[in-house]
Structure 1
Amino acid sequence: MSESGLKQAEPDEAGAAGAAPKNVRVVVLALMVAMLLAMLDNMIVGTAMPTIVGELGGLNHLSWVVTAYTLATAASTPLWGKFGDMYGRKGIFLSSIVVFLIGSALSGMAQDMGQLIAFRGVQGLGAGGLMVGVMAIIGDLVPPRERGKYQGMMAAVMAIAMIGGPLVGGTITDHLGWRWAFYINLPLGAVALFAVSAVLHLPKKRTRARVDYPGAVLLTAGITALVLVTSWGGTEYDWASVQIIGLSVGGVLALMLFVLVETKAAEPIIPLRIFRNGNFSLMAVIGFLAGFSMFGAVTFLPLYQQSVQGASATNSGLLLLPMLLSMMVVSLIAGRYTSQTGKYKVFPIVGGGLMAVGLYLLSTMGVGTSRLESGVYMAVLGAGMGFLMQITMLVAQNSVELRDMGAGSSTATLTRTIGGSFGVSLMGSLFSHQVSETLTARAGEAGGRLASGGAQLDPASLSELAAPLRDAYLRAVSDGTHQVFLWAAVLAVPAFVAAWFVREVPLRGAGKPSASSAADVSLARAEG
């Protein structure tokens, strides 16, 4: 690192390590309110999705309600992170909250599926700054070795969001209507704005360097094109069609040009130097695959539970508890252990293995699967994700210099978000194709009309269908979820393999390391 870089890093790290615990805890608590805003939205909307489809129609566009959100989040995340590095984190973070709230209000007023998808995109633009802002600010304030002490607070917020979200979402959907699943963000967002404004005090900074807009445009174009390929391939267009091939080639070319532009930009959106560290690159891969699996589970499990297992929106939220509780407990245990010992390599390995096993078990669910069985399968998947969620970000932040904390945090968040976007798009495509195929095979023309119509697939209206058609639909949803989780299990295996190559580099802020330890850290980063 340059001398100027050292001068900048020392006060930041000293400040983080030496800050009064009470003050740091208050700041982290305010940030957790903002994190709760983003996490609650995903859980609430996931539970309300079947009812939304029932009112607005368009089962074939189900995945796009999530994809538009995650795609916009992916495109904006690097910009939010870089803006924070360049202009100061507090103002940029507050701006992202405002954009998120505007998108939430518009989504609640949507009159058709097209409007909802567009407004979810606006919401996603703001969400891109929420998670990366929280992670980067915590990365600035708290050194990695000490961060495990605050993972209890983060785990508590996750518990509130993951347990309370489905309950709130189900209750709102059943009693107030799905539009309040979006409106509920407004009062919570107001609290987040006030809390962060009042307690977060960071030095203002501004740089004269120009924002890498060409890089941002190329990255957005590349990501968008490839997500469209996974979403439209095999459904809207044949895989060998001109549209899909054109999007594939265009996406790859855009990303290749993006890499070229980043090598020459004064302030690149994603500094390519961060990928020289082997641990950071591995965390990016593992984060991508974890996001792929997590978003798929949250999106399609409630649909299976409400349609096949006959749960209400509220009860389907409760039925997710095995996955959410195991995720929270495991994440808390892993964080405490890492803080006390500085050891973390075992967690990505165990997490990757459990995630693959859990997804495979979920792929075995059928029409006759009991809620106890599916609960056990979800608990296994939740444990796997609990080992991965915090550790991947912790190791990624420990692998970059302090001057790149925003860019490193946003890139780690971006890979997870892209994984979620690709996962939901690809899983949605597989699900829609399988549902249509099974319905047509079992119920003929009536099944085909039901699959293409979408409006009559509201769980509340299933009881009104003729018995043969209803049975065909339940079998179709069961077959669709089988395909979704089977492919997710296959793609989770590389995460397990990649975890074995992680190097256990000591975490920053572990006290005063010996000269040999410091040399080991420097050598590891140089080799990475």
Structure 2
Amino acid sequence: MTAEPLDDRPKPPLLGVLGLMLGIFLSALDGQIIGTALPTVVGDLGGLEHLAWAVTAYLLTSAAATPLWGRLGDLYGRKGAYQWAVAVFLVGSMLSGLSQDMGQLIAFRALQGIGAGGLMVGALSVIGVLVPASDRGRVQSVIGVLMPIAFVGGPLLGGFLTDRLSWRWAFYVNLPVGVFALLAVGAGVRLPKAERARAPFDRAGVVLLATGILGLTLVSSWGGTLYAWTSPLILGTGAVAVAALALFVRTERRASGPLVPPALFRNRNFTVSQVLGFLTGAVMLALIGYLPQYLQLVQGASPTTGGLLLLPLMLGMMGTQLVTARLMGRPGGERRYPLLGGVLALAGSALLLLLGTDTPLAWASGLTAVAGIGIGLLMQSTMLTSMAAVPRRDMGAAMGVVTLLRSIGGSLGTAALGAVYTARLTASLGARLGPAEAGRLTGGGGLTPASLAGLPPAVRDAVGTAVTSGLHGTVAGGAALAAVATAVACLARPASAPEPREAAAPAERAAVPN
């Protein structure tokens, strides 16, 4: 399979591109903004026992809906699919802000997640068709800036809105931005006539993929927290997820209009990019999730200051993505930059093993920059390679795969490395303070930045040592994943090298004007 020429298009309208960018920003922001508001939400609505579902419901439906929105765009029009996704997201946001109990909040967060699943993939698929290859680097570099801003700014904005207005504004803030995105895309996006897939909708594929994703998300959310990894519920859910995904692969090979066209993976660079995206998502979200624990519980930074101390990590990601987007057009970039990114992500993760209880705060913050540079290289190069490797008619499905695998990688990576963090922290506290005191600190909210000041010096020292030990386990796991990414990047082939040509399936050859 070879990509079709994409350079016969006029320059994209700025208003339309802005609307697409805002959708991507909302998608990334809303996954982070509610975290700092959740304690206040529970105090207002009650239902502490259901707290995890306020987050899990969003993640479940967002992950399951991602490939569905992508394929809907390929079949029925990408602009319309994106606009419908924004509309569903806004309705879910408004209803979430109006929730009167935890049950309503969970249900409306699930609706919001369905829309969120189409924001990123919808915008990327429209960009892949709308924007000529010569301008794609610039547009993708802007996306590379927006994502880290959303990851850092989300918790800060959520805390600010909760303190100054109400936790409900963590949802209401989406409304004006989303409405502007709808209007901007409606007025500014005019897609060129292009091929559109013509095939029956793959209902069996939707059910099987949704089942597999839901199962994996539940396992990653519940395992090691609500239930032991070896509990019958976790093992059974994992078995159902694996069986559903195995059946999904078999179904897609036989479907006349597959949800995820198997022909996408005949392109070596596309396949390599998806493996790298999965690994990159795991490393990035694990570092973003657990470095603040060290900065706050060991270094004594406030939540706001802890976010600011991650700026070297985020600036490394942003700056590198800006540069990489402009360099990818050079010969051999499909292999060179992912390989360099893997090496730097490995080196950056290894450098974080130097963090200790007495590391100067500025030094601790600055060490994160190398990992950020490596992650930025991997993210940008794999996204641009994926866009260049697929034909226009499958752009939505391809971007759905890209977004889905990054999301699953982040979810599973955070869960797995988080289990390492918790196990090492608990073991260290138990050895220093005894199992009873360790259980009191780690359970029931006993271990928070605010509570540390009132603890005896010996306990604070034990906590600092335990958190540092947990972080070392997490970054060692991140280094191992980065090493795998480096090895996988070696499999990429320069674009000038011929890709194996295989006959396209009849349903893939059929096309109608847009």
Q: Deviations over 1:464-507 (max 9, x none)?
A: 4454444444444333322222212212211111111111115x
For 2:28, the equivalent position in structure 1 comes to 39
Is contact 1:78-1:270 (8 Å) kept? yes
SS at match of 2:13: helix
Task: Find the aligned partners of 1:55 and 1:370 in 2 and give their Cα distance.
Answer: 39
Q: 1:310 to 1:182 in 2, by over 3 A?
A: farther
Which of residues 63, 77, 96 is equivalent to 2:85?
96
Which of residues 444, 458, 471 is equivalent to 1:453?
444
Unaligned 5+ segments in structure 2 are 505-514
Structure 1 residue 461, shift from structure 2 partner: 3.6
Q: Deviations over 1:126-167 (max 9, x none)?
A: 221111111100111123344123334334534654565455
Task: Find the aligned partners of 1:306 and 1:110 in 2 and give their Cα distance.
Answer: 32
SS at match of 2:333: coil
Task: Find the aligned partners of 1:341 and 1:229 in 2 and give their Cα distance.
Answer: 42
Give the 5 Å matches for 1:45-194: 45=34, 68-105=57-94, 107-108=96-97, 120-158=109-147, 160-161=149-150, 164-165=153-154, 167-172=156-161, 175-176=164-165, 179-194=168-183
The one-letter code of the counterpart of 1:452 is: G
Is contact 2:32-2:155 (8 Å) kept? yes
For 1:413, the equivalent position in structure 2 comes to 403
Task: Find the aligned partners of 2:480 and 2:354 in 1 and give their Cα distance.
Answer: 14
Is contact 2:344-2:373 (8 Å) kept? yes
For 1:346, the equivalent position in structure 2 comes to 336
Which of residues 266, 270, 295 is equivalent to 1:276?
266
Q: Deviations over 1:317-364 (max 9, x none)?
A: 211110111111111111112246673421100111111222233344
Q: Deviations over 1:151-185 (max 9, x none)?
A: 34334534654565455345445544655444322
SS at match of 1:481: helix
Is contact 1:96-1:127 (8 Å) kept? yes
For 2:512, the equivalent position in structure 1 comes to none
For 1:17, the equivalent position in structure 2 comes to 8
Give the 5 Å matches for 1:319-468: 319-339=309-329, 343-444=333-434, 445-454=436-445, 456-468=446-458
The one-letter code of the counterpart of 1:141 is: L
Task: Find the aligned partners of 2:433 and 2:381 in 1 and give their Cα distance.
Answer: 48
Give the 5 Å matches for 1:208-357: 209-339=199-329, 343-357=333-347
Q: 1:248 to 1:103 in 2, by over 3 A?
A: same
Identity among equivalent pairs (%): 47
Q: Deviations over 1:351-403 (max 9, x none)?
A: 11111222233344333333222222210111011111121111112222221
For 1:511, the equivalent position in structure 2 comes to none
SS at match of 1:315: helix
Greater shift after overlay, 416-425 or 148-157? 148-157
Unaligned 5+ segments in structure 1 are 507-519
Higher helix share: 1
Aligned residues: 502
Task: Find the aligned partners of 2:14 and 2:438 in 1 and give their Cα distance.
Answer: 56
Q: 1:484 to 1:122 in 2, by over 3 A?
A: farther
Is contact 2:75-2:196 (8 Å) kept? yes
Task: Find the aligned partners of 1:117 and 1:484 in 2 and give their Cα distance.
Answer: 30
TM-score (norm 2): 0.85
Structure 1 residue 263, shift from structure 2 partner: 1.7
Task: Find the aligned partners of 1:159 and 1:228 in 2 and give their Cα distance.
Answer: 26
Task: Find the aligned partners of 2:403 and 2:300 in 1 and give their Cα distance.
Answer: 35
Aligned CA-pair RMSD? 3.5
Task: Find the aligned partners of 1:62 and 1:484 in 2 and give their Cα distance.
Answer: 25
The one-letter code of the counterpart of 1:448 is: G
Q: 1:163 to 1:243 in 2, by over 3 A?
A: closer
Task: Find the aligned partners of 2:432 and 2:426 in 1 and give their Cα distance.
Answer: 10
Task: Find the aligned partners of 2:310 and 2:204 in 1 and give their Cα distance.
Answer: 42
Structure 1 residue 420, shift from structure 2 partner: 0.9
Greater shift after overlay, 337-346 or 217-226? 337-346
For 1:504, the equivalent position in structure 2 comes to 494
Structure 1 residue 42, shift from structure 2 partner: 3.8
SS at match of 1:502: coil
SS at match of 1:40: helix
Is contact 2:27-2:116 (8 Å) kept? yes
For 2:188, the equivalent position in structure 1 comes to 199
Task: Find the aligned partners of 1:156 and 1:465 in 2 and give their Cα distance.
Answer: 40
For 1:490, the equivalent position in structure 2 comes to 480
Task: Find the aligned partners of 2:230 and 2:385 in 1 and give their Cα distance.
Answer: 40
Q: Deviations over 1:233-253 (max 9, x none)?
A: 445444444333323322221
Greater shift after overlay, 357-366 or 253-262? 357-366
TM-score (norm 1): 0.83
Q: 1:103 to 1:478 in 2, by over 3 A?
A: farther
Which of residues 459, 469, 492 is equivalent to 1:479?
469
The one-letter code of the counterpart of 1:385 is: I
Greater shift after overlay, 420-429 or 75-84? 420-429
Task: Find the aligned partners of 1:461 and 1:235 in 2 and give their Cα distance.
Answer: 22
For 2:510, the equivalent position in structure 1 comes to none
